[in-house]
């Protein structure tokens, strides 16, 4: 796990911007896991659990050859996710050790939170090594909700319509939960996001994408 663990109570919380009635465009940020469940608050389109990964973890994951990064695309129960990640690591030749255990344990913890928030026992989890711009256009996902965490490299970018030139970047190791177009209720989600533009930089990101299984579409795109 990251050094912060899951601290009790909100240590910091901020709301970026205020919603227009009937629209969800605010970003809720806090250094506490419970920030993520704030996605259900009126007007909130994205909730970020702000975290700083341990330096030894950053050094370890940054130094891995890209072909040793685990890849996964699977429907999996939240309680089976940690073993699933470990198996993907073994398949990719990701070296065993405390940092690999941190990675698997952390993704499993995020999966548990996603399962609780979205009230589903089954998740669709993708773990991808990304070296292109993936999805470079700002967009809203055509689904209920999606959790993203970039364990290596630059994080997802968020913006309100009209401010695309100065997006908010989710930091490495922070988890962001985004509402999609299919979020229930009357509010329309207008907050946009995209993958950071890294093509040509030589950077390889490691991105975890956790969706509720009821949104699963076999042809779904990663972004």
Q: Which residues are at the interface with Fe ion (CB under 5 A)? A: 141, 223
CA distance 180 to 217: 14
Cβ-based nearer residue to Fe ion, 11 or 221: 221
CA distance 83 to 30: 29
Shortest distance (Å) from residue 76 CB to Fe ion:
20
Cβ-based nearer residue to Fe ion, 94 or 189: 189
Shortest distance (Å) from residue 223 CB to Fe ion:
4
Cβ-based nearer residue to Fe ion, 86 or 189: 189
In 3D space, the residue among 199, 180, 202, 183 whose CA is nearest the CA of residue 191 turns out to be 180
Can you say how many angstroms the Cα of residue 67 is from the centroid of all Cα atoms in its chain?
A: 21
CA distance 14 to 30: 7
In 3D space, the residue among 49, 107, 180, 131 whose CA is nearest the CA of residue 99 turns out to be 107
> Measured at CB, which residue is nearest to Fe ion?
223
- Exposure b/e, 53-90, CB count within 10 A at least 16 = b: bbeebbebbeebeeeebbebeeebebeebbebbbebbe
- Exposure b/e, 93-113, CB count within 10 A at least 16 = b: ebeeeebbebbbbbbbbbbbb
Shortest distance (Å) from residue 159 CB to Fe ion:
13
Cβ-based nearer residue to Fe ion, 99 or 211: 211
Cβ-based nearer residue to Fe ion, 141 or 215: 141
Cβ-based nearer residue to Fe ion, 104 or 170: 170
Shortest distance (Å) from residue 156 CB to Fe ion:
8
Shortest distance (Å) from residue 134 CB to Fe ion:
9
Shortest distance (Å) from residue 137 CB to Fe ion:
10
């Amino acid at each position: 796990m990251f050094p912060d663990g899951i601290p009790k109570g909100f240590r910091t919380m901020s709301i970026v911007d205020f919603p227009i009635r009937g629209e969800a465009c605010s970003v809720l940020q806090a250094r506490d896991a419970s920030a993520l469940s704030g996605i259900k608050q009126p007007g909130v389109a994205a909730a970020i659990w702000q975290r700083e990964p341990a330096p030894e973890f950053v050094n370890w994951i940054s130094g891995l050859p890209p072909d040793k990064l685990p890849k996964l695309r699977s429907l999996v129960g939240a309680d089976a996710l940690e073993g699933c990640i470990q198996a993907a690591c073994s398949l990719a030749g990701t070296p065993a050790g405390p940092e690999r255990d941190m990675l698997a344990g952390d993704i499993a913890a995020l999966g548990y939170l996603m399962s609780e928030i979205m009230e589903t026992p089954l998740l669709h989890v993708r773990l991808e090594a990304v070296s292109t711009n993936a999805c470079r256009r700002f967009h809203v996902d055509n689904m209920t909700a999606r959790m993203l965490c970039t364990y290596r490299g630059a994080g997802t970018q968020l913006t309100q319509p009209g401010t695309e030139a100065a997006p908010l970047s989710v930091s490495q190791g922070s988890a962001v939960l985004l509402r999609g177009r299919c979020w229930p209720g009357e509010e329309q989600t207008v907050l946009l996001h995209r993958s950071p533009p890294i093509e040509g930089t030589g950077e390889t990101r490691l991105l975890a994408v956790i969706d509720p299984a009821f949104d699963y579409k076999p042809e779904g795109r990663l972004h």
